[in-house]
Amino acid sequence: NDTVEIGPGNLKLIYSGKGELTQYINSRSLVKASVEQSYSYYAGYNGSKDKQASGAYIFRPNGTYSINSEGQDFFTVLRGPLLDEVHQRISSWIYQITRVYKGKEHAEVEFTVGPIPIKDGIGKEVVTKITTTVKNNKKFYTDSSGRDFIERVRDYRKDWELQVNQPIAGNYYPINLGLYMQDNSSEFSILVDRSVGGSSIVDGQLELMLHRRLLFDDSRGVGEALNETVCVLEDCRGLTIVGKYFLRIDPLREGAKWRRSYGQEIYSPLLLAFAEQDGDSWA
Amino acid sequence: RTNTDSLADALAIAQHHDAVSGTSKQHVANDYAKRLAIGYAEAEEVVGESLSCIAESASNGGCMSPTNKFQQCLLLNISYCPPSEVDLSNGKSLVVVIYNSLGWKREDVIRIPVINENVAVKDAGGKEIESQLLPLLKASVGIRDYYSKAYLSMASNVTPKYWLAFTASLPPLGFNTYIISSSSSTAKRAASTSSQLYDTKASQ
């Protein structure tokens, strides 16, 4: 029943005794917010009733399925002077490490997803959802190829009257740098280290599509299903991807500086080079 | 002379809309990846020579022919870094040069896989700085083992057990040097014994 607090600096993440993220607290900016995180997948449409299947071009989800975390049995906390880490096994093919650094005021989440299982004959598009209490009233903001953040309004286009046929796919946007939402007191931002899909399907929630594996061609020109495999010595498996996203909650109008400066640091990571030397001759 | 022509070619080809959006056939995606890897490996040599030159320039007051051979770790995403996975118990030191390509000062936590747990990190002035050891995630080791089958000739014999973390401080558009060597005291081990709250079944 105990809660678990991680973070050696100003930022603390609070987990429930079941290993679920529950709170985000920044003692410097006085931000205290409820946060939840989960994984789910959208089943790829197989094109059986009409001919348009989900594929590389076409996102046409056929149901949303939760991937339940394996809970406290697969939850390990590591603490140290520079950073704290939470290791979680979400399922047999999804792992996650959440890091909170002493000198940083954002949380870093490293996800390992794959090989996406397809023995059930269903293609899957795997997403993570982060839920807060931010009252964004259908509005969220996504970057435009790393440039300006553009306002998006769920189920609405300012240039034409939108007929909503695909309530999820119709609100998805490409994310290259990040996305955020805000209400009258706070901003909730996520930055990514790679191009992904993203949206806000319900108020207070941001989601990222991290990986996908589909079994049908969408007949839009690729000519094969988006079913990437990796073969090592004739041992072929679906692709496993490893990536990071970074989340932060700021008081209103204080998030832009972090999104711009840290976004640049994600894009231009420090370059490491190694050399071996004997004894103390390194000087 | 080393150059970056293959990297330029690979980057030019990867501007195709299928490469950008991920709508190519798999064999084409494999070709993009291969060309980028060739370009990266080529650029690694150029960067290694440049770093040797600027590092010597800083210590000797002039850029002579580079004497230090610098290597990078292109497969750190699968926890594979042969240059850092060296046995430091025999008196050798691992020199890490870190370059900041942005125009502002940065402080960041660096993480590299190591096989020794008795290690210390010193800055360029020889002063020991705070470091931390973290265990490798089991999943990472599994992925590394899978891919290392393809790189058997490169694979080191010992799988690293830890990430060594330390804070690097970098000037704008500049570099800093850190030295990792064996130590009588163990780097702080992320208090993994005292705060592993649950006996994880994953470890089985």
Q: Which of B84, B132, B141 to mutate: most A Cβ within 10 Å?
A: B132
Mean pLDDT along residues B86-106: 90
Query: Is the minimum CB–CB distance between A66 and chain B shorter than 8 Å?
Result: no
Report the distance separating Cα A275 and Cα B134, nearest Å.
23
Kindly list the residues from chain A whose CB atom is less than 8 angstroms away from the CB atom of residue B194: 79
pLDDT score of B63 more than 80: no
Task: Report whether pLDDT(B64) > 60.
Answer: no
Mean per-residue pLDDT of chain B: 81
pLDDT band at B140 (very low <50, low <70, confident <90, very high): low
Q: Is A274 in contact with B134 (Cβ distance < 8 A)?
A: no
Residue B203's pLDDT is what? 35
pLDDT digits (tens, 9 = 90+) for B158-180: 677 789 999 999 999 999 999 99
**Residues of chain B with C-beta less than 8 angstroms from the C-beta of A89:** 139, 200, 202
Cβ within 8 Å of residue A240, ≥6 positions away? A93, A112, A113, A114, A115, A230, B143
The residue of chain A nearest to residue B56, with distances taken between CA atoms, is: A283
pLDDT mean over B88-102: 90
Q: Any chain A CB within 8 A of the CB of B195?
A: yes
pLDDT at site B191: 47
Rounded to whole angstroms, how far apart are CA atoms A33 and A187? 11
Q: For B20-41, what is each residue's pLDDT tens digit?
A: 888 999 999 999 999 999 999 9
Q: Is pLDDT of A9 > 90?
A: yes
Residue B198 confidence class, pLDDT cut points 50, 70, 90 = very low
Least confident of A207-221, A261-275, B130-144: B130-144
Residues of chain A found within 8 Å of residue B69, distances taken between Cβ atoms: 275
> A56 in contact with B at a CB cutoff of 8 Å?
yes
Encode pLDDT of A37-82 as tens digits: 999 999 999 988 888 999 999 999 999 999 987 766 688 999 999 9
Kindly write down the DSSP assignment for every residue of chain A, as one continuous string. ---EEE-SSSEEEEE-TTS-EEEEEETTTTEEEEEEEEEEEEEEP--SSSS----SS---EEEEEEE---GGGGEEEE--SSEEEEEEEEETTEEEEEEEETT-SSEEEEEEE-PPP-TTS--EEEEEEEEE----TTEEEEESTTS-EEEEETTBBTTB----S-TTGGG-EEESSEEEEE-SSEEEEEEESS-EEEE-SSTTEEEEEEEEE-SS--SSS--S-S--EEEETTEEEE--EEEEEEEEEEETT-SHHHHHHHHHHHHSPPEEEEEEEETTTT-
Put simply, the answer to whether A232 touches B146 (Cβ < 8 Å) is: yes
Q: What is the mean pLDDT of residues A152-178?
A: 96
CA distance B5 to chain A (A): 20
Is B13 within 8 Å of chain A by CB? Answer: no
Q: What is the pLDDT of residues A80-133, one digit of tens each?
A: 999 999 999 999 999 999 999 999 999 999 999 999 999 999 999 999 999 999
Q: Which candidate in A226, A274, A276 is best for mutational testing of the B interface (most B CBs within 10 A)?
A: A274
Choose between B64 and A99: higher pLDDT: A99
Q: CB of A275 within 8 Å of any CB in chain B? A: yes
